[in-house]
A and B are shown apart, each in its own frame.
Chain A
Amino acid sequence: MQTLYLTLALFLLLTLGAGMWRVLRGPTAADRMLAAQLFGTTAVAVLLLLSQASGNAALRDVALVFALLAAVTAVAFVQRAWPEQEQPQETERDVD
């Protein structure tokens, strides 16, 4: 069972490579940010698998903290760092 969990964790880590391509290529800041959010989700999954593999329940707490704080980074991006020319037209009309 342990081998299965670790193999799945390894596979998830490899899928980060695909996300990394998005981070490096972009083209927009939002693409990069969403790739980072995907990394966060994958890291949560990897942590849960490692927690099962090693029987260490504390790793679930690490996963919990990851899941909660990923949202804060995303909000910081949307509220402060999202370049205005990138934002789609519809949302701007909605704000008015």
Chain B
Amino acid sequence: METMMVAWMLDSLLGLGLLWLAWRCLACPNLFKAIVLFVAFGLLMALAWVRLEAPDVALAEAAIGAGLTGALLMVALAQLQSIETNGDAAGATEKEERGIRPLQWLLLIVLPLIATGLGYIILSFPPDAPGLSTAVATHLEASGVSNPVTAVLLNFRGYDTLLELIVLLLALLGVWSLGGTVPQQAATPAPLVLETLTRLLVPVLILTAAYLLWVGAHAPGGAFQAGSVLAAAGVLLLLIGRHPRAALMALPLRLILVLGPATFLVIAVVTMLIEDALLKLPPEHAGKLILLLETTAMLSIGATLAALFLGGRRHTDKEHS
């Protein structure tokens, strides 16, 4: 009984905290403060997923929401500020602020409608619906892994993951097609503490990525979580000024970027020819095929996220100048 009480208090504190943080984060005029609030929001969100007994989602939120996104937003803000000091952007923002008014009234009408609709849908759910979890549990044996989430993502609905990998690649192509980035302020050599930290942390990050990939077969983990941890290692190296050589940035990087989606596509075509169904993995080889798919996907995801962090194609700028 007491346990229930405390759990209930914990959950309501988490829920209210999330709502409050989301509101503060959106309403905050100071962008840096908003980023810090966003990171805190990511932390609480991961805890909320844990309380909802979805450790897989919590792991992804921890790796992407609280980890990488914070660093990405921080660097974006730094670049934004260097643009603002170069060109005069103050006039433009003032105009935007005036133009928002009618839109706000529209939102005031539309958002409660959406909230009512969503509330109605949630309240009309049957209280104990098993959903598809029984179907997954009965076929788990044939999937080659014992973690139901990995079984769904890589086997039962493998094409979803294939499309997600392609979406990630398209995002990078979008960033690259925007052209060069703001030139970096002269790279100062990383202080000794930072250098040492990176030397210690990067191997640990790579090891953790490999662990998360392996453990994904029977517990929460998998290619996306492992890929983002791997990307964090890359981001750390980029942050202390260890840019890859231009030769590596050209063909080898591209090969790693398409490795995951390409392996997926090859397996999809082969299974189409042999089993007559897209990505229908034969049960006797499913375990090995999933490991292969996840390993290549992890490498591609890690490289894509790190490349997204690097932004536009800086190596071509160097070639021109």
Chain A, interface size category, equals: 35 or more
Given A57-B219, A65-B212, A81-B75: 17 more A-B contacts, CB < 8 Å: A6-B6, A6-B10, A13-B10, A16-B17, A23-B33, A23-B40, A39-B40, A39-B43, A59-B55, A68-B204, A70-B66, A71-B197, A72-B67, A73-B70, A76-B72, A79-B190, A79-B194
Flag whether B263 is at the interface (Cβ < 8 A): no
Contact status of A65 and B37, CB under 8 A, knowing A3-B2, A80-B78, A81-B32:
no
Among B36, B63, B191, B235, contact of A35 (Cβ-Cβ < 8 Å)? B36
Q: Are A65 and B225 in contact (CB under 8 A)?
A: yes
Q: Please report the C-alpha to C-alpha distance between residue A22 and residue B39 in the assembled complex, in whole angstroms.
A: 14
Contact status of A65 and B3, CB under 8 A, knowing A32-B36, A77-B74:
no
Determine the residue in chain B with the shortest Cβ distance to A91.
Answer: B191
Q: Are B229 and A65 in contact (CB under 8 A)?
A: yes
Q: Please report the C-alpha to C-alpha distance between residue A93 and residue B138 in the assembled complex, in whole angstroms.
A: 66
Q: What are 23 sample pairs from A and B whose C-beta atoms fall under 8 A apart?
A: A10-B9, A10-B13, A23-B37, A32-B36, A43-B47, A47-B46, A47-B47, A50-B50, A58-B220, A59-B55, A62-B58, A65-B208, A66-B62, A69-B63, A69-B66, A69-B67, A72-B70, A73-B70, A75-B236, A75-B239, A76-B70, A79-B239, A81-B74
Q: DSSP class of B's interface residues: helix, strand, loop or mixed?
A: helix
- Cβ–Cβ < 8 Å partners of B10 in chain A: 6, 9-10, 13
| Inter-chain CB contacts under 8 Å: number | 163
Flag whether B93 is at the interface (Cβ < 8 A): no
Q: Are A62 and B50 in contact (CB under 8 A)?
A: yes
- Cβ–Cβ < 8 Å partners of B194 in chain A: 75, 78-79
Q: Please report the C-alpha to C-alpha distance between residue A9 and residue B55 in the assembled complex, in whole angstroms.
A: 17
Q: From residue 46 to 96 of chain A, which have CB atoms closer than 8 A to chain B?
A: 46-47, 50, 56-59, 61-62, 64-66, 68-73, 75-81, 91, 94-95
Q: Are B62 and A80 in contact (CB under 8 A)?
A: no
With both chains docked as a complex, state the minimum distance between the C-beta of B21 and any C-beta of chain A, in angstroms: 8
Among B7, B50, B197, contact of A75 (Cβ-Cβ < 8 Å)? B197
Interface string of B198-223 (1 = CB under 8 A from A): 10010011001001100100011100
Q: Please report the C-alpha to C-alpha distance between residue A80 and residue B13 in the assembled complex, in whole angstroms.
A: 34
Q: DSSP class of A's interface residues: helix, strand, loop or mixed?
A: helix
- Cβ–Cβ < 8 Å partners of B288 in chain A: none
Interface string of A26-40 (1 = CB under 8 A from B): 100100110110011
- Cβ–Cβ < 8 Å partners of A62 in chain B: 46, 50, 55, 58-59, 62, 220
Flag whether B167 is at the interface (Cβ < 8 A): no
Flag whether B243 is at the interface (Cβ < 8 A): no
Determine the residue in chain B with the shortest Cβ distance to A94.
Answer: B191
Q: Are A13 and B50 in contact (CB under 8 A)?
A: no
Interface string of B33-77 (1 = CB under 8 A from A): 100110110011011001100010011001100111011101101
Q: Are B46 and A43 in contact (CB under 8 A)?
A: yes
